[in-house]
Every structure is written in C-alpha cells, then in structure tokens.
Structure 1
Amino acid sequence: MQTRNIVATLLSGSLSIFNWAKSTAPPNTVPSTSARFKRIGFRKLILIGLILCGQFSLAQAEATNNALTLNTALKRALEQNPSLKVFDFRNIALGGQLETANLKPAYELGLETENFSGSDELSGFDGAELTVSLSSVLEMGDKRAARQGIVSNGRSVLDAQRQVESLALLGEVTRRYVDVLTAQEQVSLAKEADELASQTLNIVAKRANAGATPDAEVKRAQAAASQAHLTLLSTQQQLEYLKVSLAALWGETSPNFAKIDGDLFHFGADVEFEMLYAKVEKNPAIQIFAAEERLKEAEVRLAKTQSRADISWSVGVRRFQESDNSALVAGFSMPLFSSKRNSGAVSTALAQRNEIFVQKEVALLNMHTQLFRAFHNRKQAILTVKELQNTIIPVLEEALKETQAAYQRGRYGYLEYVSARQELLSARRTLIESASSALTYGAEIEQLTAEPLSAEQYGESTELSGSVQ
C-alpha cells in the first residue's frame, strides 16, 4: 500500500509537469515533445526533479518511521518506563545498608570524675579522682558477616523483583500492542461495513426509483448507512485512545507512530503444555521465592549470632588529685543467659523461612492453573479463527453475493439482503475478536513461562524473556 502511494505521487507529479509544459505553448499550436521541454528549460527540469526526489524520500521515510514494531515498543518500555526507575534508588539504599553492615563496633571515649564537691577534706577538687577511658565491644559469633549476608541476599531479592516487574511490564506492553493491532483491524472492518452500507443504500435507492421497493426501505437503508458511519468514527477514536495508552508505557503522552506492524492472524507453532509448564519454575516470580529463602536463611543466621554474647571492654587512666598519682584502669562485661533470651527471635526467623516454602508451592499451583486456562483458551481461539477463515466466512461471502443479486432481481426482500450482510460482518468481527484473544492468551503464556511462545508470534521475532535480564 505504501509503495503504491509513492508511485502514485510520482505519476501525479509527472502528469503535472506535462500539463504545465503544455500550457506554456502558444495558442492554436500543438508543440512537439522536444519543443515543450526546450521551452521549460534545463534548470527548471532539474528543480522539478529534485522536488520529486524529495517527495519520494519523504514518503519513504514516513513509511519507515511511522510504523511501530513490537520489539521497539518493548525496548522503549524497558528503557523509559518510570516504574522501573525505583529499583535504582532501592539499589542505592542497599549500598548504604552494606556500608553500615561492614562497620565494626564504634569506639567510645569516656570521662568520669569521683569524690569532688563533697564535705570537709573532699570539698572542691582536691580529693577528686579523674578517669579517662576508651571502650568498645568485641562482637562474638561472626555477627558482622551475618549482617553482610542479609544485605547481599537482599540485593538478590531486589534483582528478582526487578525481573518480575520488567516481565509484568513487557506482558502489559504486549497486551496493549495486541489491542492496538486489533483496533486497526476493527477500523478496517468498520470501513468495509460503511462501504457496504453505502452500496446497499444505492441499490435500494435505484429499486425505489424504479418503483420496485417502497420509500420506507430507502429510509431504513439511510439510517443503517448513518449508523455504520458512526461506528467507523467510534472505532477510529478507540484506536487513537489505545495508541495513547500504549505510548504511555514508555512515558509519552502522545504517540509518535501512525500505526503498528504485525499480523493479527499469525500465531506461530503450538507448544505442548508439559513443555510450557516445565519452564514455569524459571519464571522470576518463582525465582524470587528462592532469593527470599536465602534471605530468610541469612536472617536465621543473624538471629543465632545474637545468642553469642558480645564482650564490652574498656581501658583508661585514672588521676588521683590528692596524691598527684596516676594509674591504669581496665575492665570488661558481658550479658548472661543470652542464648535463652534470644530463643524467641530464632524461632521467629525459622518460622518465616518455612513460610516461604509454603508460599512457593501455592504460587506454583496458581501458575499451573493460569497456564492451563491460557493454553486451552488460546487453542480454542486459534481453532475458531481457522474455522471462520476456511469455512464460515467464505460461505457467507458467497451467500451475500447471491442474496444481493437476488435482491436486485426482486426475488429477495430488503430484510434478507441486510441479514446476509450483517451475518458476514458479524463473522468477521468474531474472527478479529478470536484472533485478538489468541494473541492475548499467548502473551499471558509468555509472561508465565518468561520465554517467547514462538519465534513467529505476532508476525515478527521477539525476545520477551531476553529483554528482562
């Protein structure tokens, strides 16, 4: 279609040149072709040729740049969607937590004064004792490594969450892409319905002028033509909204594409259900449970390290004002029965870790149900599409031709003619809806398995899961 438009532009431009050259000839003369081109002039020909070349290049560029492919849409969404940018900040936050986890216990500087401002010989500071000390804590049970393990495993969970969000985003892009592709087909069908309604109105009007049908049928045909045109306008408006909705996934408020490329009726090769379900365990939504399990194991290790009591130590110098002497002081302390007091925290951490195993099993069961539903619904939708394409629609097209011919000869009434037309349009509408359902269920299968369903899906090669990494 785009190539035909470009050729038509070139032919139209050439015809304009010829007509303009002809108009420059003197009155009552028919100049030869060579004389006309001599009159135009060599420079003018060059200028016109450049204009035509520019029109051809512009038309070719528009044909190339205004069509959006699914791969381009997926790439734009991954690069520009605002919802994925939060993970950069979460990663920075984990970096800060790791810095904190790497810190050793802080040193404390202490100053203590005793035996001052008392009574008699202890009045003032003459009998005071002044102590300057440095203290800290010796961490026992490898607590520092346990803290580092929590941050490290937290980063693994964050990476899995990013993949889950990315996969969900790619699935949403694919679904909206299919919606736009469906709307494009619906606009084409609405245009065909509008043309059929106009054609019907012309046929009914001719029969009414010949006195073969009442004027009431003409009015009914006029109303049907108006309704078909309104349906076309509504479908075109819906297409524009869906394009805006698709562009919003990469942060644009107005789409910079005129249409999208793809084949609504191309589904690729089928894959066995068992092969698809075997890929479900590789889904980031399942892998995130493995990352959370490792995180909970790290939390259990940290809780167990708290059962080992830390040793507090201090060392310093004490000054005796009364004797003008100094002496070293040192000490240490540790809490008693730490293991018993920490048993509750260990039990809590173990219970939270075991809960992850159950959640993983529940998630696998739910995903099996979703995959089974999507797999069989897609299969049924593809079967419906093939039956409509190969059997139902060809029969209805022949029936419409025969009914129209019979109506023009007066053998059928207006109702039979309109019914045949509506049956054909309804079948084509069902064809579009079934094809859209098949692609939508295919996108759901891709999201559940984290892999493209087929290299031929959507009429082009897409790498859904590869884009998530």
Structure 2
Amino acid sequence: MSFRFAALAAWIVGVVAVFPATAAERISLDDAFQRVASSHPDLRLSGPQRAVLLADRDRASLRPGLVARASVENAFGTGAASGVQGAELTLSLASVLERGGKLDARRTLANSRIDTLAVEREARRLDLLAEVARRYLAIIAVQRQRDIARFDIAQRQRTVAGARKRLQAGASPESVVLTAQAALARAELDLARADQRATTARQHLAALWGERAPDFEVVASDPLQLPAIADFTALTVLLERTPELTQFVGEQRIREARLQLARSESATDVSWDVGVRRLQASGDFGFVAGISMQLGARSRAEPGIRAADAELVALEIEREAKELSLYSTLAEAHGRYSVAQLEVSRMQSDILPKLAKAEASAERAYRAGAISYLEWAQLLSEYTLARKQQLDAAVDAQRALIEIQRLTGQAFVADAGVSSERQGRNL
C-alpha cells in the first residue's frame, strides 16, 4: 500500500509540474470589447441620464396647477369690524392660462434632449472602442517586440560561440568575445524591458473594465497584416455619418426648441381665479371672479429670443469648425496609414530578405576568417533594427486605422485575426 501511495503521489506531483493549477486566460479583442461594454461607467451612465430626462419631460408636460385660496376680510378690526362678527370669508380657485404654445415648446425641448442622448452614447461607445483597440494593440506590439528580442538573443549567442571558437583557435583576441557578450547582454535587456512593458500594457487594458490584478494573455495576432482601406474621397463621405457630427443635428433641435420656448414667452399668460364669498351682514353668498395679465411680456422676452437665435447661429459655426477638424484628422490618419503600409510592405518584400541573406553570408565569411567580427555584428544589428523599424511602422499603421474607423464610425480592426464586422456588433 505504501508503495502504491508513493507512486500515486509522484504521479500527481508530475502532473502538477507539467500542467499549472490555473492556466492564464486568453482573451481576444472581442472579449475585451464585451468586458468594457458590460462594466464601463461611461456606457452605464446613459441609463440614469435617460431616467432624468424622462422625468424632466414629464415635469415639462404639466400644465399650471390649481391654487386653492381662502381669505378673510373685515375681521379683527375696530368698531363693527372688531373680532369676527362682521368677517367675510372668500373661497376661490386660481390658476394660469398659458398662451403662445409654451406647453408644446417645453415638450419639444425635453424630447429633443432625450433623442440626443442615444447619439451621445454612441459617440462615447466609439471612443471606448478606439481606446480598447489601442490598448489591445499595445499588448500585441509588445509580444512582437519580445519575439524580435528572442531572435536577437539567438543571433547574439551564435556570435559569442563563433568568437569563442576563433579565440580558442588563436585567430582573434579576447576583446572580441567580450564585445559579443556585451551585445548579447543588451539583447537580453531588450527582452526584459519588453516583458515589463507587457505587464504594464495588460494592466492598462484591464483597467478599462476595472480589473486590478490581470492574469490573462491576449490572443496572438500579426500586426504586420494591414488590410486595404477605401480611398480618401470615399472615407470623407463616411465622415458625414460620424456621431461627432451627428451630435450637432440633435443639438440643433435642442437649440431650435429653446428658441421656440423663448418666443412663446412673448405671449402674455392670463391668471384667473373664481370663488364664492359669504356676506356676513346678510348671510348671503356671492360669486367672485377675476383675471390678471402681466404687461410688457414681449419686451421682457426679447433678450431671451436674441440669445437663443444667436446660439443657433453659433452652433452652425461650431459644426463647420468641427467638420474641418475631423477632415484634417482623417487626412492625417489616412496619410499615415498609407505611408506605413508601404513601408511595411517594402520591408517585408525587399529589405529584410536581402539583410537576412547578407547576415547569413557574413556569418559564413566570419567563420572562414574572411571578415571581422565587427562587420558581422553590424549586419546583425542592421537586421534587428530593420525588423524593429517594420514593427514600428505596422503599429503606427494600426493606430492610424483605429483612428480612421473611429472618425468614420465604422467597425474597428486592430488585428487581422478578428473580423471587423463582428467587432462592430460587439457593443
């Protein structure tokens, strides 16, 4: 029995060593979108905001209420009016008759605010999608940086081994070995730096859904895969439908409703009251009624009308300024993407293959004693630097692509492994 127990314990230890107790969770960009959609305050805020606006609409739809009044006359005076013997009691109802369409103007203003809330939420959603995609892309970029660092380490290890072999053969001094070891140490430092950046990038992404101690990994993808995009003219047409400009349509309705409400203030409201009065001397009852109107309503409403009209004119100017700003940003992002896409393609098809062949040829020449270590090491550095340059260009292109799709209101593509149409449906 003791032998069987020991064997079972050994098997369990072996399984635990091979398979960790809790494997790191792997999430895709879709998963990140879903987590942000379900937990981010900016998106959950629209619910309470809508409730507030609905309450404001209900309040705006109320007509002026009835006021019950009771008044006593000829009481607590002197002579015949002393005490309450000659008091006359009047009971009445009073209210205000609104004129000029004030009720409809208030309702229109309240409904306009409710309608714009959905557009504002969509704008916040697109901003969050863009931020999620940027932070997710940062993790992908760090993963590729680690791959480049590991490749560089492997290359530098070969140079150290080659330098040692030459040293043992008496063909090169010890300084060459030390130089190769220093280059290897720098490559290892790049890997350690990339590892630290990966931790920071995961924390930065997880902060969007409130996770404080992230232990996930993202699904690997290739940032060098850059999709073809529409030309600039076609993108400018899509720019017209972006929520950043659509918001101005809703804001225009709001300001038009404010103008109409200000104009309605020029119509004088009529205050009325009706009631019954008891005549104490005869014990009879009489009907009482009255109306009142405020004078000068039009002149008092005039400043508000001018202000509302000026706000409406200013909104059109604000929209033009915003449209110019978005157009400039789109042009800059489209240009960045086109240039970076060209750089990535040329690096992949022309520059990197030639550097790889040159590095391999230099290694053979160094081992044969035809060139110095510095020539081989320089080619290694050029090859690694070119790969880093290609990655930087690809990441810049992906950032520009995210910005283009945020501006045009289209689905986001942060990596080639995720369908843009599916991402667009996530939130």
2:218 and 2:70 map into 1 onto residues whose CA distance is 77
Once the two structures are TM-superposed, the CA of residue 459 in structure 1 deviates from its matched residue by 2.9
Equivalent of residue 405 in structure 2, options 442, 446, 453: 446
2:195 and 2:17 map into 1 onto residues whose CA distance is 28
Is the CA contact 2:28–2:218 (under 8 Å) kept in the aligned structure 1?
A: no
- Indicate the residue corresponding to 1:264 in structure 2: 223
- Indicate the residue corresponding to 2:253 in structure 1: 294
Equivalent of residue 88 in structure 2, options 129, 137, 143: 129
2:298 and 2:218 map into 1 onto residues whose CA distance is 68
- Indicate the residue corresponding to 2:416 in structure 1: 458
Is the CA contact 1:316–1:328 (under 8 Å) kept in the aligned structure 2?
A: yes
Is the CA contact 2:74–2:86 (under 8 Å) kept in the aligned structure 1?
A: yes
2:189 and 2:384 map into 1 onto residues whose CA distance is 16
- Indicate the residue corresponding to 2:43 in structure 1: 84
Amino acid at match of 2:278: R
1:384 and 1:372 map into 2 onto residues whose CA distance is 18
Equivalent of residue 405 in structure 1, options 351, 364, 367: 364
Residues 457 and 276 (structure 1), Cα distance of their counterparts in 2 relative to 1, 3 Å cut: farther
Q: Secondary structure of the residue that 2:420 maps to in structure 1?
A: coil
Aligned residue pair count: 418
Q: Secondary structure of the residue that 1:332 maps to in structure 2?
A: strand
Once the two structures are TM-superposed, the CA of residue 286 in structure 1 deviates from its matched residue by 0.4
Q: Deviations over 1:221-257 (max 9, x none)?
A: 2222222112111101101211121122222223352
Is the CA contact 2:141–2:223 (under 8 Å) kept in the aligned structure 1?
A: yes
Identity %: 31
Equivalent of residue 95 in structure 1, options 38, 47, 54: 54
Where in structure 1 do 4 or more consecutive aligned residues deviate above 4 Å? none
Residues 466 and 391 (structure 1), Cα distance of their counterparts in 2 relative to 1, 3 Å cut: closer
Residues 466 and 233 (structure 1), Cα distance of their counterparts in 2 relative to 1, 3 Å cut: closer
- Indicate the residue corresponding to 1:161 in structure 2: 120
- Indicate the residue corresponding to 1:239 in structure 2: 198
Q: Secondary structure of the residue that 1:317 maps to in structure 2?
A: strand
1:232 and 1:411 map into 2 onto residues whose CA distance is 32
1:253 and 1:277 map into 2 onto residues whose CA distance is 40
1:253 aligns with 2:245: no
Once the two structures are TM-superposed, the CA of residue 167 in structure 1 deviates from its matched residue by 0.5
- Indicate the residue corresponding to 2:76 in structure 1: 117
Considering only aligned residues, what root-mean-square deviation do their CA atoms show, in Å? 2.5
- Indicate the residue corresponding to 1:209 in structure 2: 168
1:296 and 1:326 map into 2 onto residues whose CA distance is 52
Is the CA contact 1:67–1:261 (under 8 Å) kept in the aligned structure 2?
A: no
Q: Secondary structure of the residue that 1:451 maps to in structure 2?
A: coil
Amino acid at match of 1:409: A
2:83 and 2:103 map into 1 onto residues whose CA distance is 46
Normalised TM-score (structure 2) = 0.92
Residues 304 and 466 (structure 1), Cα distance of their counterparts in 2 relative to 1, 3 Å cut: farther
1:409 and 1:468 map into 2 onto residues whose CA distance is 59
Q: Secondary structure of the residue that 1:458 maps to in structure 2?
A: coil
Which residues of 2 match residues 43-442 of structure 1 at below 5 A? 66-442=25-401
Amino acid at match of 2:420: T
Is the CA contact 1:133–1:317 (under 8 Å) kept in the aligned structure 2?
A: yes
Once the two structures are TM-superposed, the CA of residue 466 in structure 1 deviates from its matched residue by 4.0
2:25 and 2:360 map into 1 onto residues whose CA distance is 37
Q: Deviations over 1:47-85 (max 9, x none)?
A: x9xx99x999x89x96xx833222222222222212222
1:252 and 1:127 map into 2 onto residues whose CA distance is 79
Amino acid at match of 1:184: Q
Q: Secondary structure of the residue that 2:226 maps to in structure 1?
A: coil
Once the two structures are TM-superposed, the CA of residue 340 in structure 1 deviates from its matched residue by 2.4
Amino acid at match of 1:320: L
Residues 89 and 381 (structure 1), Cα distance of their counterparts in 2 relative to 1, 3 Å cut: same
Q: Secondary structure of the residue that 1:447 maps to in structure 2?
A: helix
Amino acid at match of 2:357: E
Is the CA contact 1:69–1:262 (under 8 Å) kept in the aligned structure 2?
A: no
Is the CA contact 2:272–2:289 (under 8 Å) kept in the aligned structure 1?
A: yes
Residues 457 and 220 (structure 1), Cα distance of their counterparts in 2 relative to 1, 3 Å cut: closer
Once the two structures are TM-superposed, the CA of residue 468 in structure 1 deviates from its matched residue by 8.0
Query: Which blocks of at least 5 consecutive residues in structure 1 are unaligned?
Result: 1-23, 25-39
Is the CA contact 2:54–2:114 (under 8 Å) kept in the aligned structure 1?
A: no
Once the two structures are TM-superposed, the CA of residue 107 in structure 1 deviates from its matched residue by 1.1
Query: Which blocks of at least 5 consecutive residues in structure 2 are unaligned?
Result: none
Amino acid at match of 2:343: T
Q: Secondary structure of the residue that 2:240 maps to in structure 1?
A: helix
1:306 and 1:447 map into 2 onto residues whose CA distance is 42
2:218 and 2:53 map into 1 onto residues whose CA distance is 42
Normalised TM-score (structure 1) = 0.84
Once the two structures are TM-superposed, the CA of residue 465 in structure 1 deviates from its matched residue by 8.2
Residues 442 and 97 (structure 1), Cα distance of their counterparts in 2 relative to 1, 3 Å cut: same
Q: Secondary structure of the residue that 2:93 maps to in structure 1?
A: strand
Q: Deviations over 1:318-350 (max 9, x none)?
A: 123233222121111111231222111111111
Is the CA contact 1:77–1:249 (under 8 Å) kept in the aligned structure 2?
A: yes
Q: Secondary structure of the residue that 1:247 maps to in structure 2?
A: helix
Q: Deviations over 1:394-429 (max 9, x none)?
A: 111111111111112222112112111100000000
Is the CA contact 1:84–1:165 (under 8 Å) kept in the aligned structure 2?
A: yes
1:67 and 1:171 map into 2 onto residues whose CA distance is 21
Is the CA contact 1:263–1:458 (under 8 Å) kept in the aligned structure 2?
A: yes
Residues 461 and 347 (structure 1), Cα distance of their counterparts in 2 relative to 1, 3 Å cut: same
Bigger Cα displacement from structure 2, 280-289 vs 80-89? 80-89
Is the CA contact 2:412–2:420 (under 8 Å) kept in the aligned structure 1?
A: no
1:430 and 1:297 map into 2 onto residues whose CA distance is 53
Q: Deviations over 1:356-401 (max 9, x none)?
A: 1111111111111111111111000010001111111111111111
